[in-house]
Structure 1
Amino acid sequence: MEVQESIVFRCNMNLSSIVLGIDSSTQSTSAIVLNAASGKIEAEVRVNYKNDYRLKEYVLDPTTMVLPPLEPGEASQPAQMYLAALDACFSDLYKSCPNLIGKTEAINVSAQQHGQIWLSEKGVQSIYNLRSPMDNWKLTDYFADGFSSERAPIWMSSNSLKESMQIRKFVGGPNAITKISGSNSPVRFTGSVLARTASLLEEAYRNTERIHLISSFLAAVLSGDPNAPIDWGNGSGTGLMNWREKVWDQVLIDATISCGLPDSNLLSRLPPLSSPLTVIGKIAPYFTKKYGFSQDCLIIASSGDNPQTKVLASGSMLSLGTSFVIMGQGSQPVLEANAMYDGIGRPFLFGCRTNGSLTWDDLRKRSGYLSSDYQVSEKALASVTPGSITRICQPREESFPISPILDIGNELPFAENYAGVVDSSLSLVYLASRSFSGLDSESITVTGGGSSSYEVLKRIAGIWGRKVLQIKDAGAALGAAVAAACALVAKNSVENFIEVIRNRVIKPSRVVDPEDKIYNAYHRSSGYLENLQDIFLNSIAKKSDHYGK
């Protein structure tokens, strides 16, 4: 696509603008300072929840990074931890690049999707109080009594099956709810998790004045505005938003209330919805006084980690992290995927295989290797012909495609076993996403830890039948920074500008073309993909009580 460099900026901005992207994830909070003119990352910091001394009071399970569960499947993190990590991030930036902080024109947040924060009436006031900062106070001091529940339910929650089924049934079944919300009432979405959590913490829910997503909560804190909106992308992940109309939907709200919420005032607890590029205000004086941000620094509406990451790809994108996430073009919801909007407001379709590389790591450990011994797994993949072994290993229930625990195929020596599991997990993502990840046929962008493996990239090129572009640094914080720069340009320039800045920022680390021999092994008649699909569907049919989850 040919793009022009003549971009009109809002607020008298220019292409030398410094923007800041923040990502509040399950394991860390990171920040990237980006020069929009050069595409250069000027500074980057990360605060890890597990080992940063400033977060030592927040005791999490070292493997799952969540609090001890209230019941099986419940997954929460301390709400205060996100504030302490944000302060720590800014403190590290201030020490390393104080001049850049003062030049920052805009801040945009990414945060783990579906996670929610319950604010009490005092918590709403605490956000306003950031406009009149107290000497030597930390963010956590303002919110000492600010949360109706100190627990922030996150995307890992899997205890809301009953509620998700009730919501789906109330609306009229899979097709009806997908048409309205863009998704088939997934277990991990905010609405069903909220309903389940409210049944466990009824008093806390009754005392809740405002329910924010983690991204909108941090945007509210940064702007000193408790009414900071939820953007359309993260709104899509609540199961409460009408995907086409981009408004809170009363039918979806009523469906959630029908799960047994303590009262019927859910809608009044939600902030408004907006475009992810909305400028919601200037930075709160707390941050100008403590860290030296300009009082004119703008706060953008913010979004979820998947929408912000999708900003960095023009077509389909496959993220190989703890979960495998496939994101493809699409302007109409389909049952097989979740319809969302990215961090600049473009529609896309999304599927998440919850246990992704976690299954690969487990297999290495079970075979006597370190989970991080990537060299042994690379040698294993290189020694086995792609598409030659059918082996499905799902030690946990899966979300994409929806399926129960499965163990199919013979236990083989490590190399063959590992190659078979890698082939099947990637191929099942492909098979489940064919209705949307094949709509743009030129290439597929691959990122995440698993993308460092050349043998994995070869298999992806063969399975998808497309050129693979490996992007090492395509994280959500960078996507948030790029989206922040987009928020500073005139609305009619965004489509052109995203191509300009993406070409500056994103450089493929490796390009892998599909090999005919590998492609044919997967795609020929009665070949690997066809056989895998038959075996998988037959196994699902035998455990049909799990299907539709």
Structure 2
Amino acid sequence: MADRQLFHQHDTTNTSPLYLGLDLSTQQLKLVVIDDDLRVLHEEAVNFDRDLPHYGTEGGVKLNGYQATAPTIMWVEALDLLLGKMKDSGFPSHRVAGISGCAQQHGTVYWKQGAEHVLAHLNPESLLHEQLRGIFSVESSPIWQDSSTSAECEELEVAMGGAQKLADITGSSAYERFSGSQLRKIAKARPEAFAQTERISLVSSFAASMLIGKYAPIDTADGSGMNLLDIHQKDWDDRLLNLCGADLRRKLGAVVKTDAVIGFIASYFVERYGFRKDCMVVAWSGDNPDSLASLNLRVGDSVVSMGTSDTLLLTLEKATPSTEGHVLCHPTRHDAYMAMIVYKNGSLTRERIRDTYAWSSWEKFNSLVENADVGCGDRFGFFFYVPEITPKAQGVFRFEHGQQVEEFSRPEINARAVLESQFLSMRLHARRVGYHDSASKRIIVTGGASQNDAIVRVLADVFGAVVMRSSLGGGSATLGAAYRARYGVKHASGWFGTFEQSLNAPGAPQLVTVAEGSLESYEKYSILLEEYERLERDVCRAGQF
């Protein structure tokens, strides 16, 4: 992290532009500052549980059975706190030429009638959360961890002629966490609140709305994660809108390209924090698209993001949707798509295994991983402590020599087994959305767990890949947002290069090789993958929810 003393609010000798990228993720609101050479100058974050404990979240979430929500006003107060920290540090907000951001995908925010008027007339003498409290028709936003809309998902697929037909249009079959089924559920269960709703935002466009003082549009990349957008036409599908709620085309607003400038920063931030009036705000997107945007990938590269959820990202020249995984509009290439496979049981599951079998020590966990053989001696584990998305199952299942067991005869095997299970699943399901399974490919890893060399080595062996990390470490979604902010400003100012060309700068991150998969291990995993696929089918039947 750059030293806070680097910034002097009243230093007028340095007028070079700065760009901000923000990420409103599940557990925190994070900000990164870059200069015109793409150098990272400063980072700041607000952790919801630690810094805003009065909301009572755990991991930024409130769970109630299969329901998962977050207090919408908590996110507002987090922005207050974050910008207050930046102001106190002497940050030169008058140099910021552009801002963009990203957020956890699929979550929805419901603005009451008259909310936009409030946004447009904020008093700079008061904090945002003091003025926006009470303007949401649904005060707790459903988020991506929610799995309570199975009935609504089934209704959508039946109405559209099946799961594949829905995927052909929207890039995905119906998923419980996707916005469409969430909207349908609220429209049915809380008709009065739905009728009082003037605008529905994704978490990304909600945050952007605060910055521009009016309702911000949803971008095509994040909008692809709703089961409502035709990813080919890049517009809402009216049949799906009509199925999910009344007057949804108006309530959702128009969609825009991810590099669109959606307005200038609101006067509230100019007067309270000293931003310049002509600071442009570029459309916000989802955290997964911005993870992809942060890396100047070449054809054939993949990205594995390991955080609260694990995500595999691929760039596709052509959309090939299936009933597994997701195909989204690409965040930086208007003629391309991205494939995404998401796993709910990511870092929290690895940490649970660490705490149970490795005395809460990553050092001990890594030792257990490295001392176990490839394939764990004919043992497989499936660790779905929360209802899993890919595959759809819940529960913990262990198999030893083909037989299901309550616990492995060598319990320490769980450490390697959880990693092999997660990465074999990625390899299996990636093939179904366009990944060409062969050795010697490149995988770029991001997220907190990407810094663990033992975890990364297992990933390299399972895929037979060269695994690389950004020279700037994790947190790539925030950087992707900052890069898009810079590109959006340059594009709006008359520069017509591509996004990829815009990353040709001295401070651009370099990719550093951190692991190279063993061909022998890769071939062993190729054989094990067949047994894993068979067992996964059994687990899906036994772990239905």
Matched, 1:95 2:88: yes
Measure the CA separation in 1 of the matches of 2:148 and 2:535. 29
Are the structure 2 counterparts of residues 498 and 168 from structure 1 closer, same or farther at C-alpha, using a change threshold of 3 Å? farther
Residue type matched to 1:216 in 2? S
Measure the CA separation in 1 of the matches of 2:140 and 2:41. 35
Secondary structure of 1:166's counterpart equals helix
Does the 8 Å CA contact 2:397/2:539 hold for their aligned counterparts? no
Are the structure 2 counterparts of residues 67 and 203 from structure 1 closer, same or farther at C-alpha, using a change threshold of 3 Å? farther
Are the structure 2 counterparts of residues 242 and 356 from structure 1 closer, same or farther at C-alpha, using a change threshold of 3 Å? same
Matched, 1:511 2:514: yes
- Cα distance, 1:419 vs. partner? 1.1
The one of 311, 318, 322 equivalent to 2:304 is 318
The residue that corresponds to 1:387 in the other structure is: 375
Residue type matched to 2:418 in 1? V
The one of 73, 77, 85 equivalent to 1:84 is 77
Secondary structure of 2:114's counterpart equals helix
The residue that corresponds to 1:209 in the other structure is: 198
- Cα distance, 1:498 vs. partner? 4.2
- Cα distance, 1:141 vs. partner? 2.6
The residue that corresponds to 1:476 in the other structure is: 477
Matched, 1:438 2:428: no
The number of residue pairs the alignment matches comes to: 507
Q: Provide Cα deviations, 1:150-185, integer angstroms capped at 9, x if missing partner.
A: 111111111001101111111110121111111101
Is 531-540 or 275-284 further displaced after alignment?
A: 531-540
- Cα distance, 1:543 vs. partner? 4.0
The residue that corresponds to 2:278 in the other structure is: 296
The residue that corresponds to 2:62 in the other structure is: 67
The one of 163, 187, 207 equivalent to 2:176 is 187
Matched, 1:493 2:497: yes
Are the structure 2 counterparts of residues 66 and 514 from structure 1 closer, same or farther at C-alpha, using a change threshold of 3 Å? closer
The residue that corresponds to 1:250 in the other structure is: 238
Q: Provide Cα deviations, 1:29-48, integer angstroms capped at 9, x if missing partner.
A: 111001131x2111111011
Secondary structure of 1:158's counterpart equals coil
Measure the CA separation in 2 of the matches of 1:175 and 1:320. 28
TM-score by length of 1: 0.87
Measure the CA separation in 2 of the matches of 1:392 and 1:442. 26
Is 441-450 or 153-162 further displaced after alignment?
A: 441-450
Residue type matched to 2:515 in 1? V
The residue that corresponds to 2:115 in the other structure is: 123
Residues 224-243 of structure 1 aligned to structure 2 (within 5 Å): 224-226=213-215, 228-243=216-231
Does the 8 Å CA contact 1:337/1:350 hold for their aligned counterparts? yes
- Cα distance, 1:451 vs. partner? 1.6
Secondary structure of 2:144's counterpart equals coil
Residue type matched to 1:529 in 2? L
The residue that corresponds to 1:334 in the other structure is: 321
Does the 8 Å CA contact 1:43/1:97 hold for their aligned counterparts? no
Secondary structure of 1:407's counterpart equals strand
Are the structure 2 counterparts of residues 17 and 115 from structure 1 closer, same or farther at C-alpha, using a change threshold of 3 Å? same
Does the 8 Å CA contact 1:306/1:342 hold for their aligned counterparts? no
The residue that corresponds to 1:418 in the other structure is: 415
Does the 8 Å CA contact 1:344/1:486 hold for their aligned counterparts? no
Are the structure 2 counterparts of residues 162 and 385 from structure 1 closer, same or farther at C-alpha, using a change threshold of 3 Å? same
Measure the CA separation in 2 of the matches of 1:342 and 1:504. 24
The one of 378, 386, 407 equivalent to 2:366 is 378
Are the structure 2 counterparts of residues 231 and 439 from structure 1 closer, same or farther at C-alpha, using a change threshold of 3 Å? farther
Measure the CA separation in 2 of the matches of 1:398 and 1:307. 21
Matched, 1:520 2:527: no
Measure the CA separation in 1 of the matches of 2:98 and 2:144. 27
Secondary structure of 1:391's counterpart equals strand
The residue that corresponds to 1:358 in the other structure is: 348
Measure the CA separation in 1 of the matches of 2:536 and 2:382. 11
The residue that corresponds to 2:4 in the other structure is: none
Does the 8 Å CA contact 1:67/1:75 hold for their aligned counterparts? yes
The one of 97, 104, 108 equivalent to 1:112 is 104
The residue that corresponds to 1:3 in the other structure is: none
Residue type matched to 2:480 in 1? G
The one of 367, 379, 396 equivalent to 2:386 is 396
Unaligned runs of 5+ in 2: 1-14, 401-406
Is 491-500 or 298-307 further displaced after alignment?
A: 491-500
Measure the CA separation in 1 of the matches of 2:263 and 2:311. 32
Does the 8 Å CA contact 1:123/1:145 hold for their aligned counterparts? no
Measure the CA separation in 2 of the matches of 1:16 and 1:530. 56
Secondary structure of 2:66's counterpart equals coil
Are the structure 2 counterparts of residues 379 and 439 from structure 1 closer, same or farther at C-alpha, using a change threshold of 3 Å? closer
Measure the CA separation in 1 of the matches of 2:124 and 2:412. 60
Q: Provide Cα deviations, 1:475-524, integer angstroms capped at 9, x if missing partner.
A: 321110011112123374124424425x733233543112222222212x
Measure the CA separation in 2 of the matches of 1:366 and 1:514. 28
Does the 8 Å CA contact 2:448/2:474 hold for their aligned counterparts? no
Secondary structure of 2:259's counterpart equals coil
The residue that corresponds to 2:339 in the other structure is: 349
Does the 8 Å CA contact 2:357/2:415 hold for their aligned counterparts? no
The one of 153, 160, 164 equivalent to 1:164 is 153
Residue type matched to 2:189 in 1? L
- Cα distance, 1:456 vs. partner? 1.9
TM-score by length of 2: 0.88
The residue that corresponds to 2:129 in the other structure is: 140
Does the 8 Å CA contact 1:27/1:65 hold for their aligned counterparts? yes
Q: Provide Cα deviations, 1:114-156, integer angstroms capped at 9, x if missing partner.
A: 11110012212111113xxx25211123213311121111111
The residue that corresponds to 2:531 in the other structure is: 531
Measure the CA separation in 2 of the matches of 1:485 and 1:213. 23
- Cα distance, 1:545 vs. partner? 6.1
- Cα distance, 1:225 vs. partner? 2.0
- What percent of counterpart residues are identical? 27
- Cα distance, 1:337 vs. partner? 1.9
Measure the CA separation in 1 of the matches of 2:436 and 2:90. 43
Residues 455-470 of structure 1 aligned to structure 2 (within 5 Å): 455-470=454-469
